[in-house]
């Protein structure tokens, strides 16, 4: 890839573009992808996906913290296809539009010297800045390029200045064929995504695609970390982490050097010190105290709806919170197309429950009782039992058999929304959960509502 001069660390924006010194300082380390770490595995399928994607206008990588967005882009930058890639690691300070555009211009000039010079002059001139006026000369310069440039904006979720967001949208609306944009962020960038999607001009790479495959997990754990784990243990860790790259890497770090790593696989959890440190610093610390408290209190639930969370957390507006958490990719996963039911990523839920016990000791049983009451009221018998029996693990699954379920239904506890009640629901083998559209009463997972 082509980048602006590596030295010195700080450049005046015009130095970066080969002109006279101006006022805007460009930090050249922001114009490079992070260095490749030993232990990093190359993900060929995703690199191929990116290669294909950059032939269109826009590629977005949108996934929560630690799903491997930056690592993938960094590896792509090392490929021949990325010889004309311009990199910018966005940070909070880039909410200053002058600073942001100065860095963008420097990144582009690093690949194609001279491009954006007129825009930079306007940017560094005294007086009010007109975004359209600044971008027009850049767009005109780009149109004349013989070969396209790919501009990568990593950590774009850190941009929140509405004027700047609008300005980037303007650029996207007027992208010449010679500039492709790759935007990596924890949440969907505020860009005209539906239109670009519909026109086939956009490629989306999300947590689903970034999830480590079994083979990739095996390569990371057994080749890079040399853990010598059997396939079943790899699969177990894969399930625990749900393919979350940082989680797998941290699992590898945790197990490395232990005398019998396989024995420790089942104990690996969200409160593992390294995972907890990561999630606290990358996710929890960035949330407001109210949202953090909401998440800790609702972490006792296997599945969450707005109404259930209102009842359990003792607040209003839970649906909005859930919807916002999912939209901003805070380890909240939607379970149905109508976005009524959600769950937390397993490791994250474990960490939250751990934090709940630490910060509000003794509260969990009350939260489970509230959940149980809600389920009784709303007819999801299995979950009512699971939540009620929290803390009474000795009367586990085996003791609540089909007959017991029937008895509960006979006592009026088992009415469900789907019209199937009592013995009929029990006969159905407890496979469906009435409150999850198209899913049904899930007795099996209901037991884990009280899992700790």
Ligand X SMILES: Nc1ncnc2c1ncn2[C@@H]1O[C@H](COP(=O)(O)OP(=O)(O)OP(=O)(O)O)[C@@H](O)[C@H]1O
Give the residue from 177, 167, 180, 94 showing the smallest Cα distance to 133.
167
* Nearest to ligand X of 221, 321 (CB atom): 221
Instruction: Tell me how far, at minimum, the Cβ of 145 lies from ligand X, in Å.
Output: 29
Give the residue from 240, 245, 451 showing the smallest Cα distance to 364.
451
By the 10 Å C-beta count (0-12 exposed, 13-18 middle, 19+ buried), 285 is classed as: exposed
Report if residue 331 touches ligand X, rule: CB under 6 A. no
12 touches which of ligand X, Mg ion, none (CB within 5 to 8 A by kind)? none
By the 10 Å C-beta count (0-12 exposed, 13-18 middle, 19+ buried), 271 is classed as: middle
User: Site for ligand X (CB under 6 A): which residue of 4, 26, 41, 50?
Assistant: 41
Binding span for ligand X by CB under 6 A among 93-101, 243-251, 318-326, 388-396:
243-251
Report if residue 65 touches ligand X, rule: CB under 6 A. yes
Interacting residues toward Mg ion by CB under 5 A = 69-70
Binding span for ligand X by CB under 6 A among 4-12, 245-253, 395-403, 436-444:
245-253
* Nearest to ligand X of 252, 306 (CB atom): 252
Report if residue 33 touches ligand X, rule: CB under 6 A. no
Placement of tokens 């909410």 in the chain = 95
Report if residue 77 touches ligand X, rule: CB under 6 A. no
- Inter-helix orientation angle 131-143/162-173, to 10°: 30
Report if residue 66 touches ligand X, rule: CB under 6 A. yes
Placement of tokens 């007795």 in the chain = 443
Binding span for ligand X by CB under 6 A among 20-28, 51-59, 63-71, 303-311:
63-71
Q: What angle do CA 31, 156, 292 make, to 5 degrees?
A: 130
Distance in angstroms (rounded) separating the CA atoms of residues 388 and 373: 8
Report if residue 187 touches ligand X, rule: CB under 6 A. no
* Nearest to ligand X of 345, 370 (CB atom): 345
Report if residue 43 touches ligand X, rule: CB under 6 A. yes
User: Do the strands 10-12 and 25-27 form a parallel or antiparallel pair, or are they unpaired?
Assistant: antiparallel
Tokens of residue 144, six digits = 């004349």
User: Site for ligand X (CB under 6 A): which residue of 17, 26, 47, 67?
Assistant: 67
Residues that bind ligand X (CB under 6 A): 39-41, 43, 63, 65-71, 155, 186, 220, 245-246, 249, 282
């Amino acid at each position: 890839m082509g980048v602006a001069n590596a030295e010195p660390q700080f450049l005046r924006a015009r130095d970066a573009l080969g002109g006279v010194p101006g006022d805007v300082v460009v930090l050249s380390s922001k114009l490079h992808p992070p260095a490749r770490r030993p232990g990093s595995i190359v993900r060929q399928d995703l690199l191929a996906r990116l290669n294909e994607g950059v032939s269109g206008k826009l590629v977005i990588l949108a996934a929560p913290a630690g799903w491997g967005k930056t690592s993938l882009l960094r590896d792509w930058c090392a490929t021949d296809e990325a010889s004309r890639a311009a990199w910018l690691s966005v940070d909070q300070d880039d909410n200053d539009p002058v600073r942001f555009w100065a860095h963008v211009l420097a990144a582009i000039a690093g690949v194609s010297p001279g491009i954006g010079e007129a825009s930079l002059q306007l940017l560094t001139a005294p007086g009010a800045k007109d975004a359209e006026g600044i971008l027009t000369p850049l767009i005109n310069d780009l149109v004349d390029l013989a070969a396209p440039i790919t501009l990568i904006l990593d950590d774009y979720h850190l941009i929140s200045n509405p004027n700047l967001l609008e300005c980037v949208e303007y650029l996207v609306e007027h992208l010449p064929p010679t500039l492709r944009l790759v935007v990596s962020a924890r949440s969907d960038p505020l860009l005209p995504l539906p239109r670009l999607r519909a026109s086939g001009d956009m490629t989306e790479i999300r947590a689903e695609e970034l999830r480590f495959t079994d083979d990739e997990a095996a390569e990371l754990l057994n080749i890079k970390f040399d853990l010598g784990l059997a396939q079943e243990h790899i699969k177990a860790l894969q399930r625990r982490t749900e393919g979350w790259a940082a989680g797998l890497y941290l699992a590898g770090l945790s197990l490395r050097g232990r005398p019998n790593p396989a024995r420790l696989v089942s104990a690996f959890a969200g409160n593992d010190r390294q995972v907890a440190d990561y999630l606290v610093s990358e996710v929890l610390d960035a949330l407001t105290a109210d949202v953090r408290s909401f998440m800790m209190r609702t972490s006792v639930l296997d599945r969450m709806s707005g109404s259930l969370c209102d009842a359990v957390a003792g607040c209003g507006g839970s649906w909005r919170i859930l919807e916002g958490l999912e939209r901003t990719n805070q380890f909240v996963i939607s379970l149905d197309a109508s976005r009524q039911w959600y769950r937390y990523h397993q490791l994250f839920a474990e960490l939250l429950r751990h934090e709940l016990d630490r910060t509000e000791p003794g509260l969990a049983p009350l939260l489970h009782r509230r959940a149980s009451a809600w389920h009784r009221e709303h007819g999801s018998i299995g979950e009512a039992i699971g939540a009620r029996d929290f803390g009474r693990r000795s009367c586990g699954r085996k003791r609540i058999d089909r007959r017991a379920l029937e008895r509960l239904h006979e006592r009026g506890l088992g009415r469900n929304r789907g019209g199937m009640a009592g013995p009929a629901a029990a006969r159905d083998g407890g496979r469906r959960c009435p409150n999850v559209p198209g899913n049904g009463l899930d007795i099996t997972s209901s037991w884990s509502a009280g899992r700790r």
